[in-house]
Amino acid sequence: MTAVDVSAVAKSYGKVDVLSDISTHFPQGSFTSLLGPSGSGKTTLLRIIAGFVIPDRGTVTIGGRDVTSVPVWDRNIGMVFQSYALFPHMSVADNVAFGLARRGIKGEAARREVERALEMVRLPGFGTRKPKQLSGGQQQRVALARAIVTRPSVLLLDEPLSALDRRLRQEMQVELVRIQRESGLTTIFVTHDQEEALTLSDKVAILDRGRIVQIGEPTEVYERPANRFAAEFLGDTNFLQGTVEAEGTVSAHGQRIASAIALPPAGHSVTLAVRPEKIEIRDASGDGGHGTQPPANQLSAVILASIYSGTAITYEAEAAGGLRLKIFAQNRDARLRSPGEPVTLSWSADHTVPLAG
Binding site for ligand ADP (CB under 6 A): 13, 18, 36, 38-44
Q: From the CB of 36, what's the least distance to ligand ADP, in Å?
A: 5
Q: From the CB of 192, what's the least distance to ligand ADP, in Å?
A: 7
Closer to ligand ADP at the Cβ: 190 or 353?
A: 190
Q: Which of 27, 9, 31, 5 is nearest to 18 (CA)?
A: 9
Q: CA 110 to CA 93: how far, in whole Å?
A: 10
Closer to ligand ADP at the Cβ: 45 or 143?
A: 45
Cα dihedral 128→102→159→122 (10° resolution): 30
Closer to ligand ADP at the Cβ: 53 or 90?
A: 53
Which amino acid makes up residue 264? P
Closer to ligand ADP at the Cβ: 43 or 271?
A: 43
* Rounded (10°) angle between helices 136-148 and 107-120: 130
Residue 115 contacts residue 124 (beta carbons within 8 Å): yes
Q: CA 29 to CA 153: how far, in whole Å?
A: 9
Closer to ligand ADP at the Cβ: 207 or 345?
A: 207
Q: From the CB of 7, what's the least distance to ligand ADP, in Å?
A: 19
Closer to ligand ADP at the Cβ: 30 or 43?
A: 43
Q: From the CB of 71, what's the least distance to ligand ADP, in Å?
A: 18
Q: From the CB of 18, what's the least distance to ligand ADP, in Å?
A: 4
Q: From the CB of 35, what's the least distance to ligand ADP, in Å?
A: 9
Pairing mode, strands 31-35 and 57-62: unpaired
Q: Which of 154, 140, 149 is nearest to 49 (CA)?
A: 154
Q: Which of 12, 144, 36 is nearest to 82 (CA)?
A: 144
Q: CA 184 to CA 3: how far, in whole Å?
A: 11
Q: From the CB of 195, what's the least distance to ligand ADP, in Å?
A: 17
Closer to ligand ADP at the Cβ: 13 or 239?
A: 13
Burial 202-211 (b: 16+ CB within 10 A, else e): ebbbbbbebb
Closer to ligand ADP at the Cβ: 207 or 301?
A: 207
Q: CA 111 to CA 92: how far, in whole Å?
A: 12
Q: CA 313 to CA 336: how far, in whole Å?
A: 8
Q: From the CB of 13, what's the least distance to ligand ADP, in Å?
A: 3
